[in-house]
Amino acid sequence: MKRFFCLLVSLALLAGVAACGSAAKTTPTIRVGVALYQQDDTFISTVVQHLQQLALEEEQARHIKINLRIADGRGSQSVQNEQVDRFLDLGCDVICVNLVDRTAAAVIIDKAQAANVPVIFFNREPVVEDLRRWQHAYYVGSPGKQAGRLQGGIVLDAWQAESSDIDRNGDGVLQYVMLEGEPGHQDALLRTEYAIRTLTQAGVATEKLASDAVNWQRGKANIRMRQWLQEFGDGIEAVFANNDDMALGAIDACMAAGMSPEALPFIVGVDATPPALETLADGTLQGTVRNDAAGQAAGMLGLISALTQGQDPAGTVELTDRKYVWLEYTTVTRDNLAAFQQP
Ligand code: BGC
Ligand code: CA
């Protein structure tokens, strides 16, 4: 009976193999696990959409299958660690990790190394000591300092062109509020610091009225800005937001307070998300800095492609220190907006 059962199984397997003589099963498949810190983050969901689109194009071009498994860490590092374990158990060929907690990379790198599965971090940068633990740990992202400098540059240009447009009380000092991303996120720290530094280095006197970490979120930025409007009213001449969602939250608050579009302070963001570009066109947002979601997705796919074919990734992507794929930021104002809007 047992032998018969074995025979049956073998026959079934043979039949299976025969049936797959067709393309379906012989198509090489790359399995990629993508772990996100928070799936509903506007910028992160844009990166994922680009990744899916590019993977589709690569499947067609190379006649392969790319299996992307997306997991939402929902803001919890322990949930994300379990998701990474599962990806490794499932036999993923590469994992992409958008860390919940930037300082938690070591554990993940060690697990990936033990399974010999390359790990590509993106958007939330691990410290370099962690990345150096293993040759096949990489980071794809954009340099936060540059975003800060460019954002500060938008305000500086406007100030230098016609300071009275911004300096409402005419005291020669820029009174501003700062809406920050999560505490500890490299982009929140660097954008905040370098935006203001750009102005002060150019000789513009600044005065911070208030700042708060509202974790990249539009709703929270809206609430905080309402409070600041009550406290400082017209005294707020500029709003620096570490990302566009928070800039849009500030605009929501101004509108809710009944301000006319012309009466709004000078508001700038970062990311160049589609809703932010619309708001820029409408005139209530004054500028943003494109965080290259498509470029980051392409960098990740380039690494995935090279690593799964046993190639040196430096041949596919521009690699710094054999670990980093850096995508440049770009200033977006009404002057060059058309180039960034989708047709
Ligand atoms: C983006 C933010 C996003 C954050 C998530 C930043 O680089 O500018 O919009 O919320 O990454 O980690
Ligand atoms: Ca002033």
Instruction: Specify the pTM.
Output: 0.91
**pLDDT value, residue 343:** 66
Give the closest residue to 33 by CA, choosing from 106, 89, 104, 77.
Answer: 89
Whether 16 has a pLDDT exceeding 60, the answer reads no
Q: Which atom of ligand 1 is nearest to the CA of 244?
A: 9
Is the predicted pLDDT of residue 24 greater than 70, yes or no? no
Report the pLDDT averaged over residues 136-143: 98
123 alpha carbon – ligand 1 mean position (Å): 7
Ligand 1 close to Cβ of residue 50 (< 6 A): no
The ligand whose atoms approach the alpha carbon of 151 most closely is 1
Least confident of 22-36, 45-59, 169-183: 22-36
pLDDT digits (tens, 9 = 90+) for 72-107: 999 999 999 999 999 999 999 999 999 999 999 999
3-state secondary structure of 312: coil
pLDDT of 108 over the 80 cut: yes
Dihedral sign from CA coordinates of 262, 263, 268, 271: negative
Characterize the bridge pairing of strands 330-332 and 288-290.
Answer: antiparallel
> What is the identity of the amino acid at 97?
V
Measured from the CA of 291, which atom of ligand 1 is nearest? 8
Domains of the chain: 29-142+292-327 (3.40.50.2300), 145-290 (3.40.50.2300)
Q: How far apart are CA 7 and CA 3, in angstroms?
A: 6
Q: How confident is the model at residue 25 (pLDDT cuts 50, 70, 90)?
A: low
Q: How confident is the model at residue 233 (pLDDT cuts 50, 70, 90)?
A: very high
Query: Minimum-distance ligand to the CA of 179?
Result: 1
Centroid of ligand 2 to alpha carbon of 175 (angstroms): 5
Q: Which residue has the higher pLDDT, 26 or 72?
A: 72
Structure tokens, 144 = 């936060």
Average pLDDT over every residue of 47-66: 97
DSSP letter for 124, please.
Answer: S
Candidates 297, 279, 278, 194; CA nearest to 242 is 194
Using the predicted structure, report yes or no on whether residue 15 has a pLDDT greater than 80: no
pLDDT at 22 over 60: no
Distances (CA, A) of 81 to 69, 87, 171, 191: 15, 10, 52, 28
Say yes or no to pLDDT of 6 above 80: no
